[in-house]
Amino acid sequence: MTHSPRERPLCADPRQRLHEVHVEAATLRRRLPARWRFGTVGWMSPGYVGEVWPEPRTHADLARDGLVQYAAHPLLGAVLWELGEDGADLDRDLQQVAASLPPSLQLVVRAPLAFTTPRFTDEGTRAGAGRANPRFLDARVLGRDVLGPLASALGAQLAVVVLAFPAALHLAGIEPPAFAERLAGFLTALGTHVTLAVSVNEPAYLTLELARTLALQPASPVLVAGPGMPPLEAQAALVPSGPLVVVRARASQATAVASFVARAPELPTYVLVEDDGGASAPGAIFAIARELASREE
């Protein structure tokens, strides 16, 4: 499966190329179920000229009005916004994002890693060899300082907040059953109406205990297509989807993602793609959409 957003030769004029992209993307979007939403990991990539942007853009341009042009792409109905490690400047960033957020766009927000990283990673040491992180699974602070402001500023356009646990649980000495137990207490203490998803990047932690914890909340697992993780189908069998299907993948994994989504449960689905070397996320989303549309025929 190609990752180019086009199957015919590219037009040299990026505005014309983007127009042609939009025309084809609109046709594909009409052929796909509305429950499938696609998006990139972030929107601040100046390299998407002719794919998302009509002309070269700076980071300042994209911070100001990039979301408006992003949402004009018929296939881009969601975007993953990764908050900074400690959530600093969230109020300022929220004001800027909320002011420019088009009504058609759904935000998937990754919570600050300060709440999901068990130990600090000190410079010059191995991950997990640093001090214990006092904010790890701190439900009170996460709810007060992050989830509350997000829900207030974004309202119904906040699709889901992702709690992404880096591959550091084992190094921190937290075994899979203990992690599932602590996560259960944490989610219960949050007591939030915000939709949550949990991303675990160590296969050994995709356990029956985790599946039960998420089912009781309910919260959804994030299925990760990437190095070191089992195939998406295997992850879904170990930890079945909750209220949502959430997939995060590198652009080079487009074929695997399309194959999985075509057979996934008929639930609201978010497919979030990040650039991978020479493969662009918008191009991969085009490839996924093309493959899914061909299966819908």
Mean pLDDT, range 134-154, rounded to an integer? 95
- The residue with greater pLDDT, 292 or 191, is 292
Mean per-residue pLDDT for 186-206? 95
Task: Give the angle subtended at the CA of 283 by the CAs of 278 and 288, to the nearest 5°.
Answer: 120
Percent share of the chain, pLDDT over 70: 93
CB 271 within 8 A of CB 36: yes
User: How far is CA 121 from each of CA 114, 126, 137, 170, 248, rounded to the nearest angstrom?
Assistant: 11, 7, 17, 14, 24
Q: What is the sign, positive or negative, of the torsion defined by CA atoms of 70, 107, 214, 177?
A: positive
What are the residues whose beta carbons fall under 8 Å from the beta carbon of 132, sequence distance 6 or more? Answer: 118, 119, 120
Mean pLDDT, residues 135-142 taken together:
96
Pairing of strands 106-110, 158-165: parallel
What does the alpha-carbon distance between residue 296 and residue 150 come to, in Å, rounded to a whole number?
36
Residue 216: is its pLDDT beyond 80? yes
Mean per-residue pLDDT, 191-196: 91
**Does the structure show a pLDDT above 60 at 128?**
no
Measured CA to CA, the distance from residue 229 to residue 202 in angstroms comes to 7
From the candidate CATH numbers 3.30.70.790, 3.90.580.10, 3.20.20.410, 3.90.1150.10, the one assigned to the domain spanning 14-296:
3.20.20.410
Name the band, by pLDDT with cuts 50, 70 and 90, for residue 131.
Answer: confident
Q: What is the dihedral of CA 242, 222, 87, 149, to 10 degrees?
A: -30
pLDDT of 10: 56
Tell me how crowded residue 75 is: count the other CB atoms within 10 A of its CB: 23
Structure confidence at residue 1 (pLDDT): 47
Q: Where are the domains of the chain?
A: 14-296
Which of the listed ranges 84-88, 97-101, 220-224 does the model predict with the highest average pLDDT?
220-224
pLDDT at 227: 87
Rg for the chain, CA atoms, rounded: 19
Mean pLDDT value across residues 264-281: 95
Give the pLDDT confidence of 36-65 residue by residue, as tens digits: 999 999 999 999 999 999 999 999 999 899
Sign of the Cα torsion 217, 222, 228, 229 reads positive
- Distance in Å from the first CA to the final CA of the chain: 18
The pLDDT, as a whole number, for residue 11 is 62
Which of 4-13, 138-147, 220-229, 271-280 has the least mean pLDDT?
4-13
Q: What are 233-263's pLDDT values in tens digits?
A: 999 999 998 899 999 999 999 999 999 999 9
User: What integer pLDDT is reported at residue 53 of this predicted model?
Assistant: 96
The per-residue pLDDT for 219 is: 96
pLDDT at 124: 38
Contacts of 179 (CB under 8 A, 6+ apart): 169, 205, 210
Beta strands in the chain (DSSP E): 36-41, 76-82, 106-110, 158-165, 196-200, 220-225, 245-250, 269-274
pLDDT band at 9 (very low <50, low <70, confident <90, very high): low
Q: How far apart are CA 156 and CA 107, in angstroms?
A: 9
pLDDT for 174 equals 96
Q: Say which range, 3-7, 168-172, 210-214, 219-223, has the weakest mean pLDDT.
A: 3-7
Under DSSP, is residue 54 helix (H, G, I), strand (E, B) or coil? Answer: coil
Using pLDDT thresholds of 50, 70 and 90, give the confidence band for residue 122: low
